Structure 1
Amino acid sequence: MTGKALVTGASGFLGRALVPALLASGASVIAAGRGQSPFAAHPRLAWRRIDLADPAAPLREITSGVDCIYHLAWSTVPSEASLSPAEDARANIVGSLRIIESIAPGAAPRLIFASSGGAIYGRLRQAPASEDHPLNPISAYGLSKRTVEAYLDLFADTIGLRPASLRIGNLFGPGQNPERLFGAVTQFSKAALTGAPIILFGDGSTVRDYVYIDDAVDALIRAAQAQNSSRALNIGSGEGRSLNDIIACLEAQLGRPVKVERRPPRPFDTPLSILDPSRARREIGWSARVSFEDGVARTLKSLADAAT
C-alpha cells in the first residue's frame, strides 16, 4: 500500500512483521508501542512510545492524517485476561475506545482491527465457523475482542468509520516469543528443541486453526486495500490441528520423540476452533498459502538459529 499508516501494538509479534511489510510496499508508517522501538531507523518510519489506555496519551497526534489504522495493540493473552478481567477491560477496551475517539471529526480512515478467530466465537455450533456464527465467548479475552468489534460497528454507523475486524486464527511463526505463554506451536517447538517437556493442558484433543505470520500480514494489507469489505472477516486456513497433531508434526520433523507433561484442562480453552475463510477469499482475495508443516519447519529453524 501507499499513503500513511498507523500501527498500534507495533512491538508485538504481528506488528513487528507488519511494519517492515508496509515500508516495503512504499507506505509511511507511524508505529506505536509501550516500549522502545524494535525497528531499525527508516526515513518513512516514526516510532511513538504511547500507552493507549493513558488518558494523557497524545492520540490525536498519531491518528491525524493517516489513511489506515492497524489496531493490533492488546496487552493480554487469554490466561492473563481471565485472571484480571477488570484490568483487561481497562487496558484493551478503553484503550481501543481512546484510539477511535481520537480520530478527528470528518476523518474516515480505514481501521483494521486484529480480532480473535477462536475466542470470539466460543463453543462452536458448527465447524468451520463462518462470520455469521453466534458470538458467545467463554473467556474475558474473547469478550473484550467482541466488545471492541461492537464499538467499531457503532462508530461505523455514527461517524463514518470504515472498520474491518479480522478474526485471525492462532498465529505462529518466526519472531513469536515462546516465553509469552501464548502460541502452542512456538511454545512446543522451543521445548522440543531444548529437550524440555511440552506442557500439555488436557488430553491434547483441543483443535485450533493455525495461521502462519506471513499469511496474517498479507491479510491485514489486503483488508486495508479493499475499502468496502464486510466488517468481519475470518483469517484462517479452514483446517483444524489438535495439540496432539502439533506434537506429532514436531516428532516427525525432528526425527525423535519429545517429552510431554500433562496438566488439567483450562476452563477458558474452547475445545474446537476452525474458521471458514471463504468470505476473505471472495472479498479481499486472501487465502492461507503457507502449509502448517512448512510453517512448523520454518519456526523450528528460526528458534534453532536464534539459539546458536
Structure 2
Amino acid sequence: MKQITLIGAGFLGSALALGAARRGWDTTVIGRSDPFAIQNTDPGPGEIRLLTGDGVELLPETLQQDVDAIIITAGGHFPLPSAAAPAADAIGTLSLVIGLCETVRSLSPQTKIVFLSSAGAVYAPSDELKYESDPGEPTSPYGMSRRVGEEYMEYYRRVHGLSTHSLRCVNVYGRLLPRSRGQGVVSAAFWSALTGKPFTLHGDGRQTRDFIHVDDFVTATLNLLESGRDLPGTINVGTGVGSSIANVLDAVGAATGSTIATAPGPSAHTDTGNLAVDLSLLRNIIEFEPLDLDAGIKLMAREIAACGPLESL
C-alpha cells in the first residue's frame, strides 16, 4: 500500500491521513475544508496533499496517480441533524458513494473503495455481540443512509466486480469535537469536565455502547488495507466491549479530576439497550488488541492537557 485517497478531512479523515503519512504512504485528502489543519501538521515520512472541493469531481485527478485505495469518510449529516433533514442526508451520502464507485469503475477498477459506516446507527441494540451477518435495523435517517450506502457498495462488488468494503465502526473518540455537532459521548463528557457545564444525559445512563480510541481505529483500518488479504464486504471495527454512559462519565471525571454533573435530555430510539460488536472477522485478518475505555480516556486527557483545546474549539 503506497497511495491512498481520503474523501473528507474531518475527525476520521484527518486522523487516517496522518496515520497513513506516518507509515510513509502518499495521501491525498479531498474535502471542502480543513477543520483539523492537517496541512500544518508534520506528516512524517509520507506526504499529505489537500484538494479543496467536491470528492466526485476531484477524484479523477487523484486516480491518475495509481491510487491503491479510497476511503470515504464524508457524506450526509451527523446523526442528530439527520432527523431534521432526512432527504438531504440520504442524497449527501448516496450521491457520494454512487458517484465515487462509478468513477472508479470507469477509470481505475482495481482500486479498493472503503466506506466508513456506523455500527451504532446500523445495528439494533441487543445484549448479544453484533455480527456482520446480523440484520441492519436503523432507527435514524443517518443509520438508513449508512445502511443503504453499504448496499450500494455490495452492489458494485457483486455486479461490477469492484473491491468495495464497508467498515461498521463503533463510537470513535480521541479528541474534542465541536459541541454543535451533537455527536461524540466521550467528547461531550470532556467538555463538561473542562467547562463545569452539565452533561446532557439522554436515557438513564445505563445503556452501553462500544467505544474505540481513534488511534486504534486508524491502526485497524490501515492494517486491513496493508494486509494484502482479499477483504470481505463488511467488517466490524470496535473493541468488542460495551461500556455504559455512566462508565464514560466516571472515567472522564477520574482522568480530569472533575465531578461531572448531568442534566436530563430528550429521549430517542438510540438511547436504550446495549450494543457492542463481535471482532472475530477482523481478528481473522489482522492482529488487533485495542485500548480499554479507561486507558483510552486517560490518553485523550493527556493529549487535551498538552494541546489546550479550549483555545481552538
TM-score of the superposed pair, with normalisation by structure 1? 0.90
Tell me, yes or no, if the aligned pair for 1:122 and 1:270 is still in contact at 8 Å.
no
Aligned amino acid, residue 102 of structure 1: T
Paired position in structure 1 for 2:4: 5
- 1:163 deviates by 1.8
- 1:62 deviates by 2.9
Aligned CA distance change for structure 1 residues 252 and 39 (closer, same or farther; 3 Å)? closer
Q: Are 1:61 and 2:54 an aligned pair? A: no
Tell me, yes or no, if the aligned pair for 1:13 and 1:177 is still in contact at 8 Å.
no
The 2-side partners of 1:36 and 1:252 are apart by: 33
- 1:259 deviates by 1.3
The 1-side partners of 2:5 and 2:18 are apart by: 13
SS of match in other structure, 1:129 = coil
The 1-side partners of 2:19 and 2:289 are apart by: 18
SS of match in other structure, 1:118 = helix
Paired position in structure 2 for 1:48: 51
Q: Are 1:16 and 2:14 an aligned pair? A: yes
Q: C-alpha deviations, 1:131-183, integer Å up to 9, x for none?
A: 11111111111111111111111111222211221111100013544442211
- Which structure 2 residues correspond to residues 211-226 of structure 1 after superposition, within 5 A? 211-226=212-227
SS of match in other structure, 1:298 = helix
Tell me, yes or no, if the aligned pair for 1:112 and 1:223 is still in contact at 8 Å.
no
Q: Are 1:115 and 2:102 an aligned pair? A: no
Comparing 134-143 and 262-271, the one that deviates more: 262-271
The 2-side partners of 1:287 and 1:279 are apart by: 14
The 1-side partners of 2:130 and 2:112 are apart by: 26
The 2-side partners of 1:253 and 1:59 are apart by: 42
Comparing 87-96 and 268-277, the one that deviates more: 268-277
Aligned CA distance change for structure 1 residues 144 and 46 (closer, same or farther; 3 Å)? same
Paired position in structure 2 for 1:292: 293
The 2-side partners of 1:149 and 1:113 are apart by: 7
Q: 5+ residue gaps in structure 2?
A: none
Aligned amino acid, residue 74 of structure 1: G
- Which structure 2 residues correspond to residues 179-194 of structure 1 after superposition, within 5 A? 179-194=180-195
Tell me, yes or no, if the aligned pair for 1:117 and 1:168 is still in contact at 8 Å.
yes
Q: 5+ residue gaps in structure 1?
A: none
Report which of the two has the higher share of helix.
2
- 1:278 deviates by 1.5
Tell me, yes or no, if the aligned pair for 2:125 and 2:274 is still in contact at 8 Å.
yes
- Which structure 2 residues correspond to residues 223-262 of structure 1 after superposition, within 5 A? 223-226=224-227, 227-262=229-264
- 1:268 deviates by 4.2
SS of match in other structure, 1:279 = helix
The 1-side partners of 2:249 and 2:49 are apart by: 41
Aligned CA distance change for structure 1 residues 179 and 295 (closer, same or farther; 3 Å)? farther
SS of match in other structure, 1:89 = helix
The 1-side partners of 2:295 and 2:180 are apart by: 22
User: How many residues are paired up?
Assistant: 301
SS of match in other structure, 2:148 = helix
The 1-side partners of 2:180 and 2:205 are apart by: 20
The 1-side partners of 2:250 and 2:203 are apart by: 16
Q: C-alpha deviations, 1:245-301, integer Å up to 9, x for none?
A: 11122233344422111123123445321111111011233332x221111122223
Of residues 280, 283, 296 in structure 2, which corresponds to 1:278? 280
Paired position in structure 2 for 1:81: 82
Comparing 174-183 and 111-120, the one that deviates more: 174-183
SS of match in other structure, 2:51 = strand
Report sequence identity in percent: 27
Aligned amino acid, residue 226 of structure 2: Q
The 2-side partners of 1:51 and 1:81 are apart by: 21
Tell me, yes or no, if the aligned pair for 1:169 and 1:209 is still in contact at 8 Å.
yes
Aligned amino acid, residue 40 of structure 1: Q
